[in-house]
Amino acid sequence: MTQDKAPAASAKDPLVVFTPSGKRGRVPTGTPVLDAARRLGVDLDSVCGGRGICSKCQVAPAFGQFAKHGITSNPDALSAWNATEQRYADKRGLPEGRRLGCQAQILSDVVIDVPPESQLHRQVIRKSASARAVEMDPAIRLHFIEVTPADMHAPSGDAERTAEALEAQWRISGARPALPVLRTLSQALQDGSGKITVALHHTHVDQPPQIVAAWPGLLDGDAYGLAVDLGSTTIAAHLVSLRSGEVVASAGRMNPQIRFGEDLMSRVSYAMMNPGGAAQMTAAVREALAALAGELTTEAGIPPDRLLDMTIVGNPVMHHLLLGLDPTPLGQAPFALATSSALDLGARDLGLATLPEGARVYLLPLIAGHVGADAAAVALAEDPGASDDLVLIVDVGTNAEILLGNRSRVLACSSPTGPAFEGAQISAGQRAAPGAIEAVRIDPATKEPRFRVIGCPLWSNEDGFAEATAGRGVTGICGSGIIEAVAEMRMAGLVDARGLIGSAAQTGSARMIPEGRTHGYLLHDASASVGPRILVTQADIRAIQLAKAALYAGARLLMDEMGVDEVDRVVLAGAFGAHISPLHALVLGMIPDVPPERVSSAGNAAGTGARIALCSLAARRRIEAQVHQITKVETAVEPRFQEHFVAASALPHAEAPFAHLRQVAPLPEPQFNAGDSGGRRRRGRGQASETI
């Protein structure tokens, strides 16, 4: 079925929500999933044209109650397993829970996940590893030893003689092998003629280390660790040499839990409303971590048995779901944590079967019920408590972690920004992938836009752009793109301070398209070639306003607690910080007003903190102590949060003057009326209306 011949859907037809893209829409009953994906612009691969041969269109339907989406997705939401799927499963196999998108038909409301391998354009996980000098002091260290042979006249075990060799040759006392190593130690000694390399896992200086791996002879190469930033939307992992600290490979993928809910409270709700729902989410994220570990060792050409340590940071809900702990207490006051302490576990305790049996996992401590190990990792990486000036550190994702501090005091909170900054809940929004608009500029005189898409260095008005993007086209707009688009519209006078979009008559631009009682700004139109028509709609503006107001309100609460009205500098962390200019962040009022040159990017600070902890036992001990010194501010029960939120809904703010911003970017001050398509605007109370 081609897109232009598809029958129109009605309000009674099934609603389908695709994850991780977040795209949704109604389709006629009986529409194949593959056709629904094409109709809604979802990135679902197919090579055979829907004949059930290539299996590229595999999807994973999710069942249960999804309060965030307003959907109850039942097992009979898709048509029954058919002969084509059975034939393919018999010949090549289909993972449990998967369906072929070209065969499964949509019969009722349903949530459908498109796994990474079925996505035509691989998602871009923009959480790269930044360089950071770290004094190497890893928990896992390699030691070559020569073990005395067994002597029937002085009997002792292989484990005991190995421990004696470590004490004699390395002055390491009391080392004992973990049970998995004990099973293989004798063979390693035999194969190495008594000469072996052992990996020791150190915890505290007053505790003996544990032998977690052994190889015959002198090991050629290093041991490795994995630093993981377990975000609610994306998972980023860095494979690190535990000898040099060098990042040898990095990879990322969408968090598969997205199919259960885009934000944290949606996932808590799913766990509450669906028996076994928490276990489903636990299994999904553990499977993703195991797959990432295998992917990275393969990419780096490293034997899997060398991956012996892992550090993981994430917010409290991600932390609890990974551990298999009940997340539902985090959904309501007092937001009780099952544990806030750092944890040192065996990888097999977390079901990470692709890692060696002796591999270890360290989870950084949590700060509070809504301020997790990711915020602790940011504090470890950026160390606000060592700053002479007052620094605000903002790590933005679906849930924002905010730190404010200097040498005298450090405060922390989280703020529920939602998925709009990730491109979700946006009319033409999508995750960051090739073809997505990532940067926007609007000429304030002509109101004409130009933009850049992921995968192409050219701007849309430059020669060669059409040819360079012809293969995949312009597919949608990601988080950084919609943020810049809204800020540029504000600077061009297309949006007023309240967030209302003007009409064509009010703005003088034919790109303002009526949409009922509101308007949208036409950013890109490829409908003539059956491509997307990308608008920035009034609903998109509102979604960004809600997200940025929550972010600003959280920062403002910390400033209230600190007793200040200004900060000295702002550090933007995460993918947001790396891809949004300080000017656009200030125009939207996402952060408190500072001179733009006092806004800097820290890259993926949470991931950096995870790498520091991976490479340094001292850093682990340091952050374990520091979290007890951080003052937690709970936004969910703070009375002033709503007051700050309302004022921060304006662009950039209803009350704060943003004097530093206005020195570098004077903002037009139109006032548009919702539903007014004529050529008049109100100037404000007591002022005459003016024709434009």
pLDDT (tens digit per residue) in 33-52: 999 998 887 878 776 667 78
Contact between 308 and 212 (Cβ < 8 Å):
yes
161 and 92 part of one domain: no
432 pLDDT above the threshold of 60: yes
pLDDT at 654: 96
pLDDT at 88: 86
54 pLDDT above the threshold of 70: yes
687 pLDDT above the threshold of 60: no
Contact between 358 and 178 (Cβ < 8 Å):
yes
Q: What is the CATH number of the domain that holds 195?
A: 3.10.20.880
Total domains in the chain come to 4
Contact between 222 and 140 (Cβ < 8 Å):
no
Q: For a pLDDT cut of 90, what percent of the chain falls above it? A: 69
Q: How many CB atoms lie within 10 A of CB 30?
A: 12
* Residue at 123 is within a domain: no
H/E segment holding residue 673: none
Backbone angles phi, psi at 466, to 5 degrees: -60, -40
* Residue at 236 is within a domain: yes
Q: 553-600: per-residue pLDDT in tens?
A: 999 999 999 999 999 999 998 766 677 889 999 999 999 999 999 999
pLDDT at 575: 66
What integer best gives the mean pLDDT of the chain? 89
DSSP sequence for 8-28 = PP-TTSPEEEEETT--EEE--
| Per-residue confidence band for 1, with pLDDT thresholds at 50, 70 and 90 | very low
396 and 506 part of one domain: yes
* Residue at 129 is within a domain: no
pLDDT at 211: 96
Query: Which residue, 369, 388, 404, sits at the end of a domain?
Result: 369
365 and 381 part of one domain: no
Q: Report d(CA 635, CA 479) in Å as an integer.
A: 24
172 and 247 part of one domain: no
Average confidence (pLDDT) over 225-231: 95
678 pLDDT above the threshold of 60: no
403 and 441 part of one domain: yes
pLDDT at 683: 39
Closest CA to 162 of 186, 126, 127, 135: 186
Q: What is the CATH number of the domain that holds 305?
A: 3.30.420.480
Query: Which residue, 352, 369, 386, sits at the end of a domain?
Result: 369
Residue with the larger pLDDT of the pair 404 and 434: 404
Which residue's entry shows tokens 């539902």? 328
pLDDT at 686: 34
Range name among 18-27, 44-53, 333-342, 631-640 with the lowest pLDDT average: 44-53
* Residue at 135 is within a domain: no
pLDDT at 688: 31
Note down the domain range covering 534: 370-692
| Per-residue confidence band for 680, with pLDDT thresholds at 50, 70 and 90 | very low
Q: What is the DSSP letter of 137?
A: B
204 and 290 part of one domain: no
pLDDT at 681: 42
pTM of the entire structure? Answer: 0.81
206 and 261 part of one domain: no
Q: Report d(CA 44, CA 37) in Å as an integer.
A: 6
Q: Any residues with CB less than 8 A from the CB of 206 and at least 6 apart, and which?
A: none
Q: 303-329: per-residue pLDDT in tens?
A: 999 999 999 999 999 999 999 999 999
pLDDT at 690: 31
Which residue's entry shows tokens 């339907």? 61
177 and 196 part of one domain: yes
DSSP sequence for 272-330 = HHSTTHHHHHHHHHHHHHHHHHHHHHHHHT--GGGEEEEEEEE-HHHHHHHHT---GGG
pLDDT at 682: 41
Average confidence (pLDDT) over 181-201: 95
* Residue at 221 is within a domain: no
260 and 294 part of one domain: yes
250 and 351 part of one domain: yes
Q: What is the CATH number of the domain that holds 76?
A: 3.10.20.30
Residue 303 structure tokens = 């034997």
pLDDT at 419: 72
Q: For a pLDDT cut of 70, what percent of the chain falls above it? A: 93
Question: What do you get for the CA distance between the two ends of the chain, in Å?
Answer: 47
H/E segment holding residue 395: strand 391-395
H/E segment holding residue 508: none
Q: 636-658: per-residue pLDDT in tens?
A: 888 899 999 999 999 999 999 99
382 and 410 part of one domain: yes
489 and 620 part of one domain: yes
* Residue at 396 is within a domain: yes
| Per-residue confidence band for 151, with pLDDT thresholds at 50, 70 and 90 | confident
| Per-residue confidence band for 691, with pLDDT thresholds at 50, 70 and 90 | very low
* Residue at 675 is within a domain: yes
Please tell me whether residue 214 adopts helix, strand or coil conformation: strand
4 pLDDT above the threshold of 50: no
Query: Which residue, 67, 87, 118, sits at the end of a domain?
Result: 118
pLDDT at 22: 77
* Residue at 133 is within a domain: no
